[in-house]
Amino acid sequence: MRKFRLPAILLALVFALGACTTKVLPGKKGLPALKVSENHRYLVDEKGNPFFWLGDTGWLLFTKLNREDAEKYLTDRADKGFNVIQIMMLHSLGAKNFYGDSALINQNVADPLVTAGNSFKDTTQYDYWDHMDFVIDKAAEKGLYVGLVPIWGGNVKSSHVKKTDAAVYAAWIANRYKDRSNIIWLNGGDVMGSDSIQIWKTIGSTIKATDTNHLITFHPFGRKASSIWFHNEDWLDFNMFQSGHRRYDQDDSQWAFGEDNWKYVELDYAKTPAKPTIDGEPSYEGIPQGLHDTLQPFWKAEDVRRYAYWSVFAGAFGFTYGNSAVMQFHMPTDKGSAYGAKEYWYKAINNPGACQMQYLKKLMLSHPFLERVPDQSLIAGENGQKYEHLAATRGNDYAMVYTYTGKIIPIQMGKIKGKKVKASWFKPANGEITKIGEFTNTGTHEFDPPGEPDNGNDWVLVLDSVK
């Protein structure tokens, strides 16, 4: 077995600067329709081009921000490579927006409070839903899809929403937004599907029957997956799981996967019929480990990267990033914050993890994406436990292996085409690519990442067939 260490002098190829950089994107009047790929593992646009979901949780966007700040946030996320913003339409039945407009009459979902007018065309605020229209359309201009949660799960779980009213509301929102190009529906909202399951089925089936233009999934409770309850529902186009915010030693759920979010992907990947899957809510950057105890350590950028690469390499079609201060749009006028958020949203949008997500998207789309499969047989020997886990994926003529700790990666060669392969290191923290060399595509090789082994010294080994 041969071992190769990086030479002292490196040739670096850079996707983007290591600093948190942005670029202005052109406005887009309409976005391509999304659909499930032919192999039922990924999403594609109407022309069949791969769509790598890079989401951000802007949960309280509709209620917390005015129009000027909403546009600033959307511009920032588009510039950083995000293409989906996950937002609650109704965080509560008494929801009001920045301007004081209520969403509902008498807190009844079947009776939205609407007024005449079309405020997204001028500067006058008419009602809650006009403001929502404005934000959704601004997102489309910037190339962003919006993942809309019709009503956050706790409102249904607490029996404040009747099945008949849910059906009326679902039909109303579906009719209102079915012709907009950038809609994705996220039924549920941090809730067990078994809680009020008939209401969730009613919302899902009603939206799907009314709006045939857009995809729909279910956002579940922490450490759960939509596939538990709804995998075989006709209205569910793809699966979503919430790996949640707990450490290994904090996870007391049935599966007790802890931080191993790749295991949720494996469970969904094995189900029939095949449906795409994604981690729609992993641990957020800047949130306490375990979520509720603010004296616990806070999750950092390297933790976010680990969740992202583990799940995508295991077969997920994308990834959703989250930041504690951003998801609640924490600002100076708030009376305290949720989960011990210490920063304000307009500063937290530039946290390291938010800047680094674009490099994953660029890496995955730099190779044929739709042929990609998870393949742990690339690892010669043990895959590793917990933080030592090596995640491997490949196409026909390329392979990638992620290490979170920077320990030696033993590779079983011959898994991709070609007599020889060229190897490179990809650095998830800044998108930098460094050439290693060419190797025969037989036997086993060991590749030693730069730096000393340590948590957060993460690297991707990239192997490409030599044509």
> Is 90 exceeded by the pLDDT of residue 149?
yes
Q: Which CATH superfamily is domain 34-349 in?
A: Glycosidases (3.20.20.80)
* CA dihedral (168, 173, 176, 181) positive or negative: negative
How does the average pLDDT of the chain come out, rounded?
Answer: 93
Q: Where are the domains of the chain?
A: 2-14+372-465, 34-349
* Environment class of 160 (CB within 10 Å of its CB; exposed 0-12, middle 13-18, buried 19+): middle
The pLDDT of residue 125 is above 70: no
What's the pLDDT at 29? 60
pLDDT of residue 371: 98
Neighbours of 132 (CB within 10 A): 24
* Res 306 pLDDT > 60: yes
pLDDT at residue 116, rounded to an integer: 77
The predicted model scores a pTM of: 0.94
Give residue-wise pLDDT tens across range 370-386: 999 999 999 999 999 99
Mean pLDDT confidence for 221-242: 98
Task: Give tens-digit pLDDT for 328-351.
Answer: 999 999 999 999 999 999 999 999
Q: Please give the Cα distance from 242 to 224 (Å, whole number).
A: 6
Q: With 90 as the cut, is the pLDDT of residue 363 above it?
A: yes
Across 10-20, average pLDDT? 40
Q: Please name the CATH architecture into which domain 2-14+372-465 falls.
A: Sandwich (2.60)
Whether residue 130 has pLDDT greater than 60: yes
In the predicted model, what is the mean pLDDT of residues 55-68?
98
- The whole-number pLDDT of residue 16 equals 37
